[in-house]
Copies of this chain bind each other. A is one copy, B any other.
Amino acid sequence: MSFEREEPNYYGAGPALLPTDVLQQAALDLINYQNLGLGVGEISHRSKQAVSIVDETKVNLTRLLAIPDTHEVFFMQGGGTSGFSSSAANLMAAYAKRTGKKGKAAYAVTGTWSKKAYEEALRLGFEAEAVVDVKKQNGKFGDIPPTSEWKPVNSDYAYLYYCDNETVNGIEFQQVPEAYAAGVEIVADMSSNFLSRKIDVSQYGLILAGAQKNVGLAGLSIYIIKKNLLEQAGDEELKQLGVPLSPIAFHYPTVVQNNSAYNTIPIFTLHIINLVLKKLLAQGGLAVQEATNGRKAAALYSVLDSYPQLFKLPVATGVRSKMNIVFTIEGEGNEDEFLKLSGARGLTGLKGHRSVGGMRASLYNAVTEKSVQSLVDFTKEFAESRK
């Protein structure tokens, strides 16, 4: 039995790589946590050890992101899909409390995930509008039009929802649409670029992030919410207004009142998140991580851009994702060959999402610069061999 492994060169989109030392610590703690004689997944979610994992994780996240007092952190089971479903019900309930009215929701549809979120809001019976729908306009996802071209929003809108980084399509917002959404709460899905760079939390009504890219295993999501959005209309009032309710496990005020343990929190999964946060803090925080991620993405984009006949990048330069680098390869059989040769060199997880094809290299926090350099070297060699 061995705890060791070679450092993987893995670029999967999620579930994704985690730091080896975090996994090693987690493996030990799975069997015997803090010398309790019990694993961290076996202790009661109300034990002092479990509560302290919840509290510590909140503190570490608050430090990393400089979360202001106006905002609250909580955790819930599920991933992005539960996240966007629940955000609709909860933000609408907060709007009903503030205004006594049923609100509308605005969705910026810039990729696969924001499209799903928009469709779910409609499906659940919320009044939702796509203030921009890039695929409808351009025939494909690949750019983010300036907000001056989006349908304007006003105080009838409970929130503006957007996906900060579209994992499938490799599109990342370069700035928060704050001026556009003046007076409207901003909800951002940061599942695939959370903690990849510094952000100004005060700009957001709600940030939601599935753990399984930059911060942990699948199964748990992180929420950062403006505290006043926890003031929600009561169930009966919502029913009268025709606003659908959130299941109780996803009712944010209930979750917050119970310190994220209304539902039994998957404490092993949260423990891993906490270990990742501690590592990020020890490495100098998000400024350092942001610089590293910038260099990683620049290195790979640079080699791809150097061979424009061979590599095609479907995403407009200004909105390229630093996390998910999407490209196709010209020439019959070249994509298969790229996957085969890179795989033979131990570079894996490069196949694009089944809905869009091509290649996708996900350079999340746990992917080291060294690993990116291996990919860059390979990509260059591959391109040279195709000349």
* B-binding residues in A (CB < 8 A): 1-6, 8, 10, 12-18, 20, 23-24, 26-28, 30-32, 37-39, 41-46, 77-79, 81-82, 85-86, 120, 123-125, 210, 212, 217-220, 235, 239, 244-245, 247-250, 262-269, 346, 348-349, 354
Contact = CB atoms under 8 A, between A and B. Distances in A.
Given A14-B264, A41-B217, A79-B264, 10 more contacts: A3-B31, A10-B38, A13-B44, A15-B41, A18-B42, A23-B30, A27-B28, A78-B263, A120-B248, A123-B235
Nearest to A244: B244
B8 A218 contact: no
A42 B27 contact: no
Q: Is the interface of A mostly helix, strand, loop or mixed?
A: loop
A120 B85 contact: no
Contacts of A239: 125
B20 A42 contact: no
Nearest to A35: B5
Given A1-B24, A16-B42, A244-B244, A266 B81 contact: no
Nearest to A217: B41
A14, A15, A348, A349: residue with the most chain B Cβ atoms closer than 10 Å: A15
27 contacts: A1-B3, A1-B28, A5-B31, A5-B37, A8-B37, A8-B38, A13-B44, A15-B41, A18-B39, A18-B42, A23-B39, A23-B41, A37-B346, A45-B218, A77-B79, A79-B264, A81-B262, A85-B249, A120-B248, A125-B245, A217-B266, A217-B269, A218-B266, A247-B247, A247-B250, A266-B269, A269-B269
